[in-house]
Structure 1
Amino acid sequence: MSRLTELLRQVRKADAQLGTDLEAEVAALTKRRTFGLVFEQHQPEAVELPGRVVRRGDKVRVLPPRGGTKAGDQRLWWTTRIECVDGQRVAHLAELDVEEPETRAVLADDVVVVAEFRDRIYPGLVETGRVERGGDKPFHTVVNAENYHALEMLTYTHRHSIDAIYIDPPYNTGARDWKYDNDYVASDDDYRHSKWLAFMERRLKICRELMRSDATLVATIDEHEVNRLGVLLDQLFPESTRQLVTIVNNPKGVTQGYLSRVEEYAFFVFGPDARIGSVDDDLLTHRDMADAEGELQRPRWKGLLRSGDDSLRADRKDMFYPVWFDESTGRLSHAGEALPLDETPDFSPQDGLTPIWPIRGSSQFGV
């Protein structure tokens, strides 16, 4: 390392900023894990600031022509000067981070100011409206912002004072459903997973700074990143307790060529001093109760019927049997004997119990 340190010192003499950046990267490499969740620490995203007036010295991107659908020029430019031409502000630009920078002049209205993560930003809030209905009761605040900088802003006022954080990050399905550095991430991107992990790590680190010792973090996710997110949470919150909850969000299932997916997941990360209160509802057992429209909620009997191949009585002769239901208690009592194929099912109650047969909505006998 002594030779490398000397070379870095020489670079720093020639270019102070380049030397500082190289030293930071070398320091990160020496601290990199050789086990656990190892991923590329990608160049941090750059965030566009569309409400910011362009000034000399700003980093900017040139916007695509209005009304079009083509992606804009992703190169970064340095604003060397602003001048007024025929009553319009014109920005003179020089391309950043290239040996022979291109220069151009464009209308200031056709560029957007960009801040990279290493740039110092002092975030603030501008109130755009409010709805007051609760008097002196506690109120909600909606912050519309780039989430990293919104979280960073809260560290000035709410560090180690948040009770609960719920996040619903992009699921990284490969369907170009999220952006990294202002560009959609597609399924053929070789660095799709590490970009997502770098994206999540930066935000989760700030969440950790906001949380109290008895706080809880909840993060929803699906099968595309559930395993990686679990390991990342373990590394960032080693003193906390992590649990995974399964959420059945589509009982009919989503066909994927193999097994149909019916669930998503929610990670619960409990701080070292967090405690959970007990409730009567186990969130699994069905209870007869009225929904928002006043109609009685009923069990999903379809979920108890076999679907797909060999799902009819004729296919599984020994699997056509009743389940006996006790209406007085609202519980299933027991399963009856299989009915021979040549016999007709009897729907008459017996001993106070009602038989429930596996009959489909089409009136076919199922199993």
Structure 2
Amino acid sequence: MAHLDTLIGRISDPKLRSEIQDQVNKLTAKTSFGLVFEEHRPETVTLPGFEISRGGKVAYKDGSTPGIWTVLRLVDGVATIVRMGDTAERGTASIGELVVIREFGDPIYPGLESVGAVTRGDDKPFHTVINAENYHALQTLMYTHEGKVDAIYIDPPYNTGSRDWKYNNDYVDGDDQYRHSKWLAFMERRLKLAKRLLNPADATLVVTIDEKEVHRLGLLLDKVFPEARRQMVTIVINPNGSARGQEMSRVEEYAFFLFFGQAGPGLVSEDLLGGEDMAPVRKDVRWEWLLRGGANSRRQDRPNLFYPIFVDPETKRIVDVGPPLPIDANRDDVQAAKGLVTVWPLKTDGQEGRWRASADYIRALLAAGHARLGAYDSKLDRWSVLYLGKAQIRRIETGDIEVTGRREDGSVILQELVSTRRTPKTVWNMSRHTAGEHGSNLLKRFVEGRAFPFPKSLYAVEDSLRVALGGKKDGVVLDFFAGSGTTAHAVMRLNRQDGGRRRSISITNNEVSAEEQAGLRAEGLRPGDARWEALGICEHITMPRLQAAITGRTTDGVPVKGDYRFVDPFPVADGFEENMEFFKLTYEDNHLIRLGRKFHAIAPLLWMRAGAEGTRIDDLPEEGWSLPKDSFYGVLTDIDQWEPFVNAVNARDDVRCVFIVTDSQAEFEAINVQINQGIDSVRLYADYLQSFEINTRQG
């Protein structure tokens, strides 16, 4: 070591000498026990279309001259550049030859640009898909979801040696002697960020892998998550076997389940080892309250949903449903027929609310026996009204809920067949987990003529999430190796089965396969070109697959063929009653953010922090503040308007976050103390900027 220190001391470049000494110190500090691997230099990501500026880092687009360069000056579209780490090597290049580079560790100030949405879920929260390098996307989610994620499911590259992943923009193949250590460094950086996103008190991490890296991954997970309880599940994904040269034919892959805090495996109706379901039991079916609660529940929010329901108190049945009452009309002017009483959608405090469904729809439900009069509340002197939601009616049609009779008022008497639950086993051998039939073949229905290598079985991911979430119907699920979008698809399946409001966050890049890249480069195309990007994973596979899953139609408008199977069979063409928005990660100028000129770029982040639900505030409010009636957060941009803003916030019980724009910490604290406790108060833009500067240093 002494001789090595002497050699390091001879390096004339102080920056290079310091960096080498740091790496040597890290190596000598390592123990020989446990997992030891080369850390490798930080990864880089190219940013096609990002403006080249003086002092920025760039690389040659075509890779003809490797390395990272710094821009010294720009004159008439020509950049003078110097190679990083070697100031003696300089050159010039047109800005068209260069692309901006970010190294992990460089500060980033991210935003999100919406590139499309599908809305079929009424007031449900939005699933989100982010097209980005996943390390930077995870840093971005630190601002919106740190400690809030209930489950992470990832299917990372398996490092098979067949160029299935990239390190520093180059595919890693089987001849790379550092293949395994590069993969471990790549994974460790992302798992450390994932750790901060998981709820430490109650969350689950699921990581799938095959035999190439299973043992190294297990050691890495122990290193990063020593506090977790770890189990490995063996999943049969190809019963016919996959030939491996002079080896035995493989039929399985593996999934590590890591449970944090109070989390544990969710109960399932079968042990997943291949046994039969346990005999179901019967239970009564829950009816929904027709009176709307929570946000967007006032009469003025939806005037056409304020109408009278006429009830016979003697027979305890609904006799008639009246038309909506105009917003300027008084309900006391509506007279019920003799012997009947009028039921209005009134809140417990007496304020006028609204019903959850239209008068015409309730009339149709009454005729079918799917709506009825509920209990009478003597204290409030009013009746409740009950109805069956669409999910329950579908389950009646499929036979999951049985009609066992009718009440005197004509409403149906229902019983639900519920399977007995049990703890899953650690070997799964179910036909529905076969990747070929329920992964590749299923995907082809949604994106005809487009290929994606080795997609997971939709039902294998669904079962994994059922175990990981443990019954959380409003859980947040993250997948930062989202690929074709199977995880988001599975979350929507779970929501349909039990009426849940789970939200998925899917992160995938827009990488083009090695084979397609060769052809595109031969045509002179590069990343950032429209034709190149159109063939990327996110634009070519993920977005159209998930759009088709929700709408039930392909991008050509053709109904998707076939039926879903297992647990909840129904036609694929029915789609899902869900909302989803697609975003592209952007890299913003911190000075413009500080000046408030990039509010539109960070607006989706504020909305996501508040639950990705309701109206999004996309523009700076002219009045100085905004608190949409069907949103769950507000923004104050003019400090002089703090009083009406605070009054509006405190008058509601559903506000989750407020964002206050001020450069003064004292002003922020003075306003914050006036806001109801339990609301997440954030100072813009200082907290945003500091958050990413801190994350960069920690990374």
On whether the aligned pair clears a TM of 0.5, the verdict is yes
CA distance in 2, matches of 1:61, 1:240: 41
Counterpart-to-counterpart distance in 2, 1:248 and 1:285: 10
Q: Relative to 1, partners in 2 of residues 1:261 and 1:141: Cα closer, same or farther, differing over 3 Å?
A: same
2:107 is equivalent to residue 120 of structure 1: yes
Task: Report the secondary structure of 1:282's partner residue.
Answer: coil
Q: Following superposition of structure 1 onto structure 2, how do residues 202-221 of structure 1 map, counting pairs within 5 Å?
A: 202-213=189-200, 214-221=202-209
State the match for 1:331 in structure 2. none
Does the 8 Å CA contact 1:63/1:73 hold for their aligned counterparts?
no
Does 1:76 find its partner at 2:63? no
Q: Which 10-residue stretch deviates more, 91-100 or 40-49?
A: 91-100
Cα drift, residue 21 of structure 1? 3.0
What is the match of residue 157 of structure 2?
170
Residue matched to 1:107: 94
- SS of equivalent residue, structure 2 residue 270: coil
Using the alignment, how far apart are the partners of 2:168 and 2:139 within structure 1?
Answer: 18
Inter-partner Cα distance in structure 2 for 1:50 and 1:273: 44
Query: 2:153 aligned with 1:181, yes or no?
Result: no
CA 4–252 in structure 1, closer or farther in 2 if over 3 Å, else same? closer
The DSSP-based 3-state class of the residue aligned with 1:101 is: strand
1:246 counterpart = 2:223: no
CA deviation vs aligned residue, 1:212-270 (integer Å, no higher than 9, x gap): 12111111111110110011101111110111111111111111122001111111111
1:49 alignment partner in structure 2:
47
Task: For residues 72-120 of structure 1, give each alpha carbon's deviation from its aligned partner in whole angstroms, at most 9, with x where no partner exists.
Answer: 4322222111122xxxx2222222222630312x221221101112322
1:97 matched to 2:85? The reply is: yes
1:271 is matched with which residue? 260
For residue 32 of structure 2, what is the amino acid of its counterpart?
A: T
- In 1: Cα distance, 2:180 partner to 2:5 partner: 32
SS in 2 for 1:120: coil
Which deviations, in whole Å up to 9, do the C-alpha atoms of 1:113-151 show, x marking residues without a partner? 011123222222222222111121122000110011101
Number of paired residues?
278
In structure 2, the CA distance between the partners of 1:264 and 1:72, relative to structure 1 (3 Å rule), is farther
Q: Distance in 2 between matches of 1:287 and 1:72?
A: 60
Q: Distance in 2 between matches of 1:62 and 1:4?
A: 35
- Give 1:15 shift: 6.2
Task: Write the letter of the residue equivalent to 1:177.
Answer: D
**Relative to structure 1, is the Cα distance of residues 217 and 109 closer, same or farther in structure 2, using a 3 angstrom cutoff?**
same
Residue matched to 1:145: 132
1:285: how far off? Answer: 2.8
Tell me: CA distance 1:94–1:2, structure 2 relative to 1, closer, same or farther (3 Å): closer
1:17 is displaced (CA, Å) by 4.1
Residues 162 and 60 of structure 1: CA distance in aligned 2, closer, same or farther (over 3 Å) = same
Query: 1:237 matched to which residue of 2?
Result: 225
CA contact (8 A) 2:270 2:276 kept: no
Deviations 1:166-223 (CA, angstroms, capped at 9, x unpaired): 1111110001111111111111111110010010010001111111121111111111
Matched ranges for 1:1-367 at <5 A: 17-18=15-16, 21-22=19-20, 24-64=22-62, 72-84=64-76, 89-98=77-86, 100-104=88-92, 106-213=93-200, 214-257=202-245, 258-287=247-276
CA distance in 1, matches of 2:129, 2:83: 37
Aligned twin of 2:383: none
Deviations 1:293-332 (A, max 9, x none): x9xxxx98xxxxxxxxxxxxxxxxxxxxxxxxxxxxxxxx
Alpha-carbon distance in 1 for matches of 2:143, 2:81: 34
Return the alpha-carbon distance in structure 2 between the equivalents of residues 121 and 16 of structure 1: 26
Distance change in 2, residues 1:243/1:83 (3 Å): same
CA contact (8 A) 1:180 1:195 kept: yes
Cα 1:285–1:7 shift into 2, 3 Å:
closer
Distance across 2 between alignment mates of 1:149 and 1:11: 37
Q: Percent identity?
A: 53
Give, as a single letter, the amino acid of the residue that structure 1 aligns with 2:54.
R
TM-score, normalization: structure 2?
0.37
For 2:169 and 2:61, the matched residues in 1 are separated by: 12
C-alpha displacement of 1:159: 1.1
Q: Which secondary structure state, in structure 2, belongs to the residue aligned with residue 141 of structure 1? A: strand
Higher relative contact order (CA 8 A, sep 6+): 2
Higher helix share: 2
Structure 2: unaligned runs, 5 residues or longer: 278-397, 399-429, 432-699
**3-state secondary structure, aligned to 1:173:** coil
Map of 1:354 onto structure 2: none
Q: The residue matched to 1:212 in structure 2 has which SS? A: coil
Relative distance call for 1:166 and 1:92 in structure 2 (3 A) is: same
1:37 & 1:197 partners in 2: Cα distance?
Answer: 10
Ranges of 4+ aligned residues in structure 1 off by more than 6 Å = 1-8
Alignment check: 8 A CA contact 2:16 2:85 kept: no
CA distance in 1, matches of 2:243, 2:4: 54
Distance 2:44 2:124 in 1: 39
- 2:80–2:90 contact (8 Å) kept in structure 1: no
- Structure-2 change in CA distance of 1:193 and 1:25 (3 Å): same
Conserved in 2, the CA contact under 8 Å of 1:161 and 1:211? yes
| Structure 2 equivalent of residue 319 of structure 1 | none
RMSD across aligned C-alpha pairs, in angstroms?
A: 2.8
Amino acid across the alignment from 2:74: I
Q: Counterpart of 2:260 in structure 1: which amino acid?
A: G
* Structure 1 residue ranges without an equivalent (≥5): 65-70, 289-293, 301-367
Distance 1:140 1:72, change over 3 A: farther
Query: What's the CA shift string for 1:1-58, capped at 9, x where partnerless?
Result: 99999999x899x866446534542442343232001111111111111131001111
Is the Cα–Cα contact under 8 Å of residues 206 and 255 in structure 2 kept in the other structure?
yes
Task: Rate the CA distance shift 1:99–1:113 in 2: closer, same or farther, 3 A.
Answer: closer
> SS where residue 238 of structure 2 aligns?
coil
3-state SS of the aligned residue for 2:127? Answer: coil
The CA distance in 1 between the partners of 2:244 and 2:222, in whole Å, is 29
User: In 1, Cα distance between the equivalents of 2:147 and 2:6?
Assistant: 41
- Opposite residue 256 of structure 2, the aligned amino acid is F
8 A contact 1:11–1:18 mirrored in 2: no
